[in-house]
Amino acid sequence: MTAPTRPLRADARRNREAILAAAGELFGEQGDEAQIEEVAARAGLGVGTVYRHFADKQALLAAIVGRRFEAATELARSVDELTDAGEAFERLLYGYLESVCADSAFRRALLGPEEPRWESIAAQKEAFREVVSRIVQRAVDAAVLRADFGVDDFVRVTRGAMANMPDDADWRRHVELQLEGIRP
């Protein structure tokens, strides 16, 4: 049995937000080279405060990625309510990519050479995947996407676009070309 999780005090919540903001900037700039000490310094906190919130660098990166997946899931849920399956798919695709365009820490985590430890954010990833699967299937059923297009293909298309970021024109061109290839 686990102890119930209590809400953070206001100062602890502020510290956590400062840590996540600083870590997001540093991981975006330096990737895995960013150090906890640098995160603490940029957040204006002590190293111990960072470790009270996050066991290690991987836990900190997972928290950043988890928050992005939560935001992406909210986007997916909102476009899932659209009746036009093609519009829902394209809004999801472009909305998701626009949201990650400015988040280099998230992109580095997804595209980096090392497989991140994501056990702590499995629920966030699965929630996103579930809604994306539904949107993709609706688009396939409406003959807006190829019959063999699946949720893993959505991941492939978005990762390809992310590899062309942050140059705005390149990733959008990549998506345009991909869309031509995935339509029936």
What does the domain layout of the chain look like in residue ranges? 9-54, 58-182
pLDDT of residue 81: 96
Instruction: Give, for all 184 residues of the chain, the pLDDT tens digit.
Output: 334 466 768 888 899 999 999 998 888 888 778 899 999 999 999 999 999 999 998 889 888 888 889 999 999 999 999 999 999 999 999 999 999 888 888 888 888 776 667 788 889 999 999 999 999 999 999 999 999 999 999 999 999 999 888 766 688 888 988 888 888 7
Cis peptide leading into residue 166 (ω within 30°): yes
Quote the distance between the C-alpha of residue 150 and its chain's center: 19
pLDDT of residue 74: 97
How far apart are alpha carbons 115 and 103 in whole angstroms? 19
pLDDT of residue 3: 41
- Helix-strand-coil split of the chain, %, nearest 5: 75, 0, 25
The answer to whether the beta carbons of residues 74 and 95 sit under 8 Å apart is no
Radius of gyration of the chain (CA): 18
2's tokens: 């686990």
Kindly list the distances between the CA atom of residue 6 and the CA atoms of 16, 20, 48, in Å, as whole numbers in the listed order.
15, 19, 20
> What would the CATH number be for the domain defined by 58-182?
1.10.357.10
Selected from 2.120.10.70, 3.90.1150.10, 1.10.10.60, 3.40.50.720, the CATH number assigned to the domain covering 9-54 reads 1.10.10.60
pLDDT of residue 169: 63
70's tokens: 């939560």
160-174 b/e (C-beta count within 10 Å ≥ 16 → b): ebbebbeeeeebbeb
